[in-house]
Amino acid sequence: MDQTGPGPGPGSSFLALIRKKRDGEKLLDEEIRRFVRAVTRGGLQEGQLGAMLMAIRLRGMDADETLTLTREMAVSGRVLEWPDSWQRLLVDKHSTGGVGDKVSLPLAPALAACGCKVPMISGRGLGHTGGTLDKLEAVPGFNVSQSPEQMRCILEQVGCCIVGQSEDLVPADKVLYGLRDLTATVDSLPLITASILSKKAAEKVSALVLDVKFGSAALYTSLDSARTLAQSLVSVGNRLGICTVAMLSRMDGPLGQRVGHSLEVLEALQCLEGRGPADLHHLVTTLGGSVLWQCGEAGSVGQGAARIAATLADGSALGKFQAMLQAQGVEAGVAQALCTGTEEQRYQVLGRARAQEELPAAQDGAVQRVEALPIAQVLHELGAGRTQKGQAINHHVGAELLVTVGQRVGKGSPWIRIHYDTLELSNNHRRTLQGALVLAGSEPFAPSCKVAEIILPQGSRSLEELTGEQGSGSSQALLCSA
């Protein structure tokens, strides 16, 4: 029986909830509901909120508590509404963040070219990871602030939009998200799950693919910890009625060959032309293929991946990207120059850093790996990232990898090109960067696939099981019923 009183105000009733969770007890649905309402209305002291977050971080929440927290956060503000005819085709993707992760830029328009509706609500950079919104704002005129009515109009005209979280969408998450950083509870499994999925539930999507990164440059460094998060997300997502699948992908080295906002836009455009780095193309087509499988537009992940690849090869995804740019504020001539111009013409649109410097390999050898974290940290110090919320960033700062994993390089040959602007590249920066290149005396080799594992409602599968002919016949039976 609920003994917490009429509502968790700043008095004894909310202290009882803190005490209950502190002692490891399960919170009732109504208790969680009142907690989220109090968070949204601002009726709690910051110290009390911090205490509850820490209690959740230390004691955890079971699957039922996490589901209720997610559901109540989703309805703490406005929930997006769409035409009934769109329901099955409303899809989205979320990444837990990495270095060089520009997947959303080609993926959203590729899905739109396949007939899906993609109301993608994205975020800004956190720490050493770049944000999708920051990358798109490297394009002159691109406006990430779109009302729900404007989003619906863009989806009708184009099929996809990439926007920021509006003030009235999941306000409870905004409060808790900011406090998690201040209270060292960022890594809390139920809080991460609720934060990610509450926004997707408020979008009212029917299918969601999650790119959960693991490795030295990811939020979770080990495969086991990333798998635990992925399982939580898939379980709660499907119980919310969203057909949810997660892919565990490696984030030790950068994704693609370019890191930094403007440079990543350029590489995304290459991908949209069916060119560019193989690892980026593979991750875009695999994630997109899963989404098409999940919403019933493909019989297997492999068939879906082939459809996504076709939109990249035939220019239809690029056309959707150009249309999205114009729908979100970019002048028609600028969008056309960016999407149909040469690389030099694209640089003229996006701008270029004041200086570039190439660093040479210190010895002969085959590239075993390129560490993403030190590269990202140097670029952050050169102005590509934020040290506090709202700080301006330099879109032109970045790095181009001139080698790939498995490639043989000679001593003295350039392996990376750094683009820097107002802040100079120091000797300390150079030493840090040189430590990111790991060479060995082995023969050249093919790099491993980025996707290590796929998490379905029924358990884990390998990518081969879901893309090969063997898996295609029975693959629908592996999916959720949403």
Q: Which residues are catalytic?
A: 94, 173, 180, 195, 199
CB atoms near residue 16 (< 10 Å): 16
- Letter for the amino acid at 277? P
331-348: buried (b, 16+ CB within 10 Å) or exposed (e) per residue? eeebbbebbeeeeeebee
